[in-house]
Amino acid sequence: MSAEHPVARADDIPVGEGRAHVVAGQQIAVFRLRDGRIRAVQATCPHAGGPLADGLVDDTVVICPLHNHTFDLATGCSTTGQPAVRTYPAHVDDNGNIIVSVPQP
Amino acid sequence: MTNPQRLVVVGNGMAGARAVEEILHRGGDRMFSITMFGDEPYGNYNRILLSGLLAGTDDAEEIFLNPVEWYRDNGITLHAGVRVVRIDRFAKLVLADDGSVTPYDKLIIATGSRPFYPPVEGMWRDNKTLTPGVFGFRTLDDCAAMVHHAREHRRAVVIGGGLLGLEAAHGLRANGLEVHVVQSAPLLMNQQLDTQAGHVLRRSVDKLGITVHTGQRLTAIRHENIVTGVVFADGSTIDCDMVVVTAGIRPNVGLGIVSGLTVERGIVVDDQLRSIDDDDIYAVGECAQHRGEVYGLVAPLWEQAVVLAEHVTGHNPHSAYHGSRTATKLKVAGIDVATMGLKQPEREDDEFVQFSEPRHGVYKTVIIRDDRLVGATLMGDVSKVAFLMQAFDRGLPLPEERIQLLFDIGTPAPSVGAAELDDDAQVCNCNGVSKADLVTRVRAGERTLSGVMNATRAGKGCGSCKGLVADIVEWAAGGKIEDDPAANWYVPCIPMDKPELMAEIRSRGLRSVSAVFAELTRDGRPDAASKMALTSLLRMMWGTEFVDERDARFVNDRVHANIQKDGTFSVVPQIKGGVTTPAELRRIAEVAERYDVPLVKLTGGQRIDLLGVRKEDLPKVWADLGMPSGHAYGKSFRTVKTCVGSDFCRYGLGDSTALGIAIEERFKGLESPGKLKLAVAGCPRNCSEALVKDLGVVAVEGGRWEIYVGGAAGAHVRKGDLLTTVDSPDEVITITGRFLQYYRENARWLERTYAFVPRIGIDRVRAVVVSDSEGIAARLDAAMQASVAAYRDPWLEGEKPVTPGQFRTALPLIDLPQVPVR
ipTM: 0.96
User: Considering the domain boundaries, does residue B127 fall inside one?
Assistant: no
Q: What is the pLDDT of residue B504?
A: 94
Contact B309, B16 (CB under 8 A): no
DSSP collapsed to 3 states, B612-669: EECHHHHHHHHHHHCCCECCCCCCEEEEEEECCHHHHCCCCCCCHHHHHHHHHHHHCC
CATH code (residue A11): 2.102.10.10
Element (H, E) at B466: helix B466-476
Give start and end residues of each alpha helix (H) in B26-66: 28-31, 50-55, 60-63
Distance CA B475, CA B439 (A): 9
- State mean pLDDT over B731-742: 97
Closest by Cβ to A20, choosing from B549, B551, B811: B811
User: Considering the domain boundaries, does residue B65 fall inside one?
Assistant: yes
- State mean pLDDT over B309-317: 92
Same domain, B649 and B785: yes
> Under an 8 A CB cutoff, do B550 and A17 touch?
yes
Q: What is the pLDDT of residue B819?
A: 60
Average pLDDT value over all residues in chain A: 93
Report the percentage of chain B scoring pLDDT > 70: 97
Higher pLDDT residue, B52 or B306? B306
Phi, psi of B757 (to 5 degrees): -65, -50
Q: Report how many Cβ contacts below 8 Å link chain A to chain B.
A: 103
Q: What is the pLDDT of residue B415?
A: 42
Tally of domains in chain B: 7
Chain B residue numbers touching A14 (CB-CB < 8 A): 550-551, 803-805
Contact B635, B751 (CB under 8 A): no
By the 10 Å C-beta count (0-12 exposed, 13-18 middle, 19+ buried), B792 is classed as exposed
Same domain, B97 and B79: yes
> Under an 8 A CB cutoff, do B528 and A66 touch?
no
Chain-centroid distance of CA A84 in Å reads: 13
Decide if pLDDT at A71 tops 90: yes
Lowest mean pLDDT among B228-237, B630-639, B695-704, B806-815: B806-815
Q: Which of B54, B38, B21 is nearest to B140 (CA)?
A: B54
Same domain, B396 and B282: no
Distance CA B284, CA B273 (A): 6
User: Considering the domain boundaries, does residue B122 fall inside one?
Assistant: no
pLDDT of B476-519, one tens digit each?
A: 887 677 777 777 899 999 999 999 999 999 999 999 999 999 99
User: Considering the domain boundaries, does residue B413 fall inside one?
Assistant: no
Q: What is the pLDDT of residue B592?
A: 96
Q: What is the dihedral of CA B778, B782, B785, B791, to 10 degrees?
A: -150
Under DSSP, is residue B574 helix (H, G, I), strand (E, B) or coil? coil
Chain B residue numbers touching A21 (CB-CB < 8 A): 812
Q: What is the pLDDT of residue B821?
A: 53
Residue of A nearest to B461 (CA): A67
- pLDDT interval class at B412 (50, 70, 90): very low
Decide if pLDDT at B422 tops 80: no
pLDDT of B585-626, one tens digit each?
A: 999 999 999 999 999 999 999 999 999 999 999 999 999 999
The helix-helix angle for B656-667 and B729-746 (nearest 10°) equals 40
- pLDDT interval class at B637 (50, 70, 90): very high
Under DSSP, is residue B136 helix (H, G, I), strand (E, B) or coil? strand
CATH code (residue B385): 3.30.390.30
Q: Which conformational region is residue B446 in: left (phi greater than 0), alpha (psi within -120 to 50 degrees), or beta?
A: beta
User: Considering the domain boundaries, does residue B808 fall inside one?
Assistant: no
Same domain, B474 and B536: no
User: Considering the domain boundaries, does residue B322 fall inside one?
Assistant: no
Same domain, B68 and B200: no
Q: What is the pLDDT of residue B715?
A: 81
Same domain, B461 and B370: no
Distance CA B818, CA B54 (A): 77
Same domain, B200 and B272: no
Chain-centroid distance of CA B271 in Å reads: 28
Same domain, B542 and B567: no
Per DSSP, what are the bridge partners of residue A98? A8, A92
Distance CA B487, CA B368 (A): 25
Contact B343, B387 (CB under 8 A): no
CATH code (residue B266): 3.50.50.60
E-assigned strand segments in B189-309: 210-214, 218-224, 226-232, 237-239, 242-245, 249-251, 267-269, 274-275, 278-283, 288-290
Same domain, B765 and B644: yes
- State mean pLDDT over B44-62: 81
Angle at B612 between CA B606 and CA B618, to 5 degrees: 90
Q: Which conformational region is residue B260 in: left (phi greater than 0), alpha (psi within -120 to 50 degrees), or beta?
A: left
- pLDDT interval class at B414 (50, 70, 90): very low
Same domain, B108 and B25: yes
User: Considering the domain boundaries, does residue B384 fall inside one?
Assistant: yes
Minimal CA separation from B549 to chain A, in Å: 9
Q: How many CB atoms lie within 10 A of CB B462?
A: 15
Minimal CA separation from A4 to chain B, in Å: 18
Per DSSP, what are the bridge partners of residue B245? B136, B159
Distance CA A71, CA B387 (A): 35
The helix-helix angle for B14-25 and B298-312 (nearest 10°) equals 40
Signed CA dihedral, B738, B739, B740, B744: sign only: positive
Decide if pLDDT at B431 tops 80: no
Distance CA B690, CA B646 (A): 16
- pLDDT interval class at B411 (50, 70, 90): very low
> Under an 8 A CB cutoff, do B810 and A15 touch?
no
User: Considering the domain boundaries, does residue B123 fall inside one?
Assistant: no
Decide if pLDDT at B820 tops 70: no
Task: Look at residues B405, B434, B458 and tell me which one is the last residue of a structural domain.
Answer: B405
Higher pLDDT residue, B736 or B337? B736
Residue B469 to residues B328, B413, B443: CA-CA distances in angstroms? 21, 13, 15
Contact A58, B527 (CB under 8 A): yes
Q: What range defines the domain where residue A84 resides? A: 2-103
Q: What is the pLDDT of residue B782?
A: 95
The overall longest dimension of chain B from CA atoms, in Å, is: 109
pLDDT of B90-145, one tens digit each?
A: 999 999 999 999 999 999 999 999 999 999 999 999 888 999 999 999 998 999 99
- State mean pLDDT over B739-750: 95
- pLDDT interval class at B815 (50, 70, 90): low
Q: What range defines the domain where residue B385 resides? A: 327-405
Q: Which of B735, B734, B728 is nearest to B705 (CA)?
A: B728
Numbered residues of chain A with Cβ closer than 8 Å to any chain B Cβ: 11-22, 25-27, 29, 34-35, 43-44, 48-59, 61-63, 65-66, 68, 70, 80-81
Element (H, E) at B700: strand B695-700
Q: What is the dihedral of CA B813, B819, B820, B822, to 10 degrees?
A: 180
By the 10 Å C-beta count (0-12 exposed, 13-18 middle, 19+ buried), B346 is classed as exposed
CATH code (residue B462): 1.10.10.1100
CATH code (residue B647): 3.30.413.10
Average pLDDT value over all residues in chain B: 90
Numbered residues of chain B with Cβ closer than 8 Å to any chain A Cβ: 454-455, 457, 460, 514, 525-529, 531-532, 549-552, 554-556, 558, 563, 565-567, 803-805, 808-815, 817
Higher pLDDT residue, B35 or B398? B35
E-assigned strand segments in B17-112: 32-38, 44-45, 64-66, 76-80, 84-88, 93-96, 101-103, 106-109
pLDDT of B63-74, one tens digit each?
A: 888 888 889 999
Same domain, B515 and B583: no
Tally of domains in chain A: 1
Closest by Cβ to B528, choosing from A54, A57, A81: A57
pLDDT of A79-103, one tens digit each?
A: 888 999 999 999 999 999 999 999 9
Q: Which of B159, B164, B112, B118 is nearest to B143 (CA)?
A: B164
Minimal CA separation from A13 to chain B, in Å: 6
Residue of A nearest to B462 (CA): A67
Q: What residues have CB less than 8 Å from B99, skipping those under 6 apart? A: none
- pLDDT interval class at B413 (50, 70, 90): very low
b vs e for A66-99, b when ≥16 Cβ sit within 10 Å of the residue's Cβ?
Answer: bbbbbbbbeebebebebeebebbebeeeeeeebb
What is the β-pairing status of strands B155-159 and B249-251?
unpaired
Chain B residue numbers touching A26 (CB-CB < 8 A): 814
Same domain, B34 and B101: yes
Decide if pLDDT at B743 tops 60: yes
Task: Look at residues B206, B223, B247 and tell me which one is the last residue of a structural domain.
Answer: B247
Distance CA B755, CA B464 (A): 11
Chain B residue numbers touching A29 (CB-CB < 8 A): 810
Lowest mean pLDDT among B40-49, B686-695, B717-726: B40-49
pLDDT of B649-691, one tens digit each?
A: 888 888 999 999 999 999 999 999 999 999 999 999 999 999 9
Q: What is the pLDDT of residue B418?
A: 72
